[in-house]
Each structure stands twice: as C-alpha cells, then as structure tokens.
Amino acid sequence: MGLGGPWDGTSYGAAEIDHAAAVIEAAQGIGVELFDHADIYRSGKSEAVFGEVLARSQGLREKILLQTKCGIRLGERGLETHYDLSRDAILERVNQSLKRLQTDYVDVLLLHRPDPLLDPREVADAVGKLMAEGKVRQLGVSNMSAAQIEYLQNQLETPIVANQLEMSLLRRDWLESTVLVNHAEGLEYSFPHGTLEHCMTQGIELQAYGSLAQGRYTGANPEELSPAEAATAAMLEQLAAEKDTTPESVLLGWLMKHPARISPVIGTTNGKRIKACADAASVAATMTRAQWYGLWVAARGNNIP
C-alpha cells in the first residue's frame, strides 16, 4: 500500500522502484510469499512500481504470489468515492492492474468492499471470464460478513478462498464480538456475528490488515497513548525480552495464536519493521494461554466478563 510515492498524481521514478525492490527483498527474507495490492493504492502507483521490479528481476514472478483488489472508485466520473463491482468494472480494473503489475495473471483477486448494487450474477460472469482467460486463479473478498459471502458464493462456480478484514490487538471487534454475546458491552462492537466461524468452517483464509495496529504499540509517542495502550506496549516489550524477539513479532504472534489461523498482512514498507516480524510464527507456537489472555486484557483496559 505504501509503495510508489505520495497519494497524488505525481509520477514515480528510480528511487521509488529501488525502494520497492528493497521492500520485496526484505519481505522474502522473512519468508513472505504473498504480496497484497489494490488498484487504488497510491492511485495505482503501488502496482506500477511493483511491476517495474518484476520486469527487471528475472524469475521473481514464479517465486511469489500476487494478490490485488478491485471495487473501490476514488472520486471518479463525477461521483464521490463509491463502490463498483459490476461486470464491466471488474474486468476493466483487473486488466488495468495486470498491465501495471506487468504480469499475465494474479494468484488471488479480492473484491475490496461490499457494493450495495452488487449483482452476484455479474460478479460470477466477470470472474468466470477472467479465470477462463487465465488472468485470475482464485477469488476472495475483503470486509465482508458471513451472510454476504454466502450470498455471493451461491452464484459462483469457484470457491471464495479468503476474506481480508481489519484484525489486530488494537482493533478487536472480531474477537470481542465472539465473547460478548448476550452482554451489554457487546453492543459497542459492529463486527458481524458468525463471520469468523463461517470462514473457519468453510476453509476461507482470514487475512488481517492493520495487524501491526499502525505502530500504536511499537513506536508511537508514549505521551499520545491511552493507559491501556501504554500498558499493552509495556507488556509487548516484556514478552519480547523474555522470548528474545521483537514486540512486532509478539504482536503478530498473538494474532496468529487464534485457532482461526489468521494470516497477518504487514502493511509497512520499512525494511527494518518488516524484519522485526520474522519470529511471529514461532512466537505464536510458544505463547502460553496466560500470555495471550494477558495481552488481551491489557489491550481492553479492563477484565473480560
């Protein structure tokens, strides 16, 4: 999301391409295989600079998985930001992404947000055409509930393989909603009930964007933190020291410990922060129940019911 320079119409150059190459190298260095894009990131420049790196790096495309998203239009055609998952829009946007990425196909296409005017038959038609042409290999969604996934899946001939949602220790609607059933506190959370469980039972991968909590626990100005955030940051530091790793790895390890087998999406383009995530899987494997609950309670700022 951060590749390609500013969120404006300015062009990119050698510096942005070199930065993208360094980010890709750092990510591969910690075992990252899937690279997540969207047609709107940096107004298309994120895909474009990534494509430049692919073009100059022989054999790289075969070593990675590419994922992109479509469905959001940013103030186009006389309209404010809106969503468009019509047949023609999907075909147009995917072909534009492929051109920018300088590749013949993406491994996964995600429908970025629910479109209230979505016709699942149009989606099925567009996706079927793209798959028949070899341009898309698998389909997923983003920011969708269990009901929306089922509604869409009923018209599709291909399974929905992923659902990308905001999930982290800071943004815990996904977790709080599953335990605050029949509790007054549960009214504070908007995460649709049953979404996590539906994805788990249907084998739909849960991808977590915002998984590093925008650096809130790992580098933010201490004076800007709430008491709960400060306590959580301190606990992450303590656990990182005990496990001889980084707070970032502990933060992601906490997320990956959940039985939903959540796959964190690392949004940073800072090579040092990427490398700081290297131990996440091993932290998840060794994190105790007491440590997991301790972080959750610290982040909540109060005990669970």
In 3D space, the residue among 123, 101, 98 whose CA is nearest the CA of residue 50 turns out to be 101
284 within some domain: no
- The helix or strand, by DSSP H or E, that contains position 150, with its residue range, turns out to be helix 146-153
193-212 pLDDT, tens digit per residue, is: 899 999 999 999 999 999 99
Enzyme catalytic residues: 41
112 within some domain: yes
Give the mean model confidence (pLDDT) for residues 220-228. 94
Give the mean model confidence (pLDDT) for residues 61-75. 95
pLDDT of residue 192: 85
Please state the separation of Cα 264 from the chain's center in Å. 7
| Whole-number Å distance between alpha carbons of 208 and 283 | 17
113 within some domain: yes
175 within some domain: no
pTM: 0.94
pLDDT of residue 3: 76
Give the lowest-confidence range in 160-164, 184-188, 198-202, 211-215: 184-188
pLDDT of residue 7: 58
User: 186-190: long-range contacts at Cβ-Cβ below 8 A with a sequence spacing of 24 or more?
Assistant: none
Given a cut of 70, whether residue 78 has pLDDT beyond it is no
Give the mean model confidence (pLDDT) for residues 167-188. 85
pLDDT of residue 8: 63
Given a cut of 90, whether residue 183 has pLDDT beyond it is no
**Any idea of the CA torsion for 160, 116, 155, 133, to the nearest 10 degrees?**
-70
Q: Which domain holds residue 133?
A: 1-166
pLDDT of residue 193: 87
Given a cut of 70, whether residue 5 has pLDDT beyond it is no
Tokens read off for 113:
């947000």
Give the lowest-confidence range in 74-83, 89-98, 100-109: 74-83
| Whole-number Å distance between alpha carbons of 53 and 60 | 9
Give the lowest-confidence range in 26-30, 73-77, 94-98, 235-239: 73-77
Given a cut of 90, whether residue 182 has pLDDT beyond it is no
**Backbone phi, then psi, for 287, in 5-degree steps?**
-65, 130
pLDDT of residue 40: 94
92 within some domain: yes
pLDDT of residue 179: 87
DSSP three-state, residue 162: strand
159 within some domain: yes
CATH number of residue 16's parent domain: 3.20.20.100
**Any idea of the CA torsion for 301, 302, 304, 305, to the nearest 10 degrees?**
-150
Given a cut of 80, whether residue 151 has pLDDT beyond it is yes
229 within some domain: no
In sequence order, what DSSP letters do the residues of 227-274 get, joined into one string?
A: HHHHHHHHHHHHHHHHTTS-HHHHHHHHHHHSTT--EE------HHHH
289 within some domain: no
Selected residue with higher pLDDT from 260 and 305: 260
Please state the separation of Cα 267 from the chain's center in Å. 8
pLDDT of residue 9: 63
Biggest CA-to-CA distance, the chain: 57
Query: How many structural domains does the chain have?
Result: 1
In sequence order, what DSSP letters do the residues of 32-83 get, joined into one string?
A: --EEE--TTGGGGHHHHHHHHHHHHSTTHHHHSEEEEEE-EE-S-TT--SEE
For every residue of 97-114, which 3-state class applies, written as one string? HHHHHCCCCEEEEEECCC
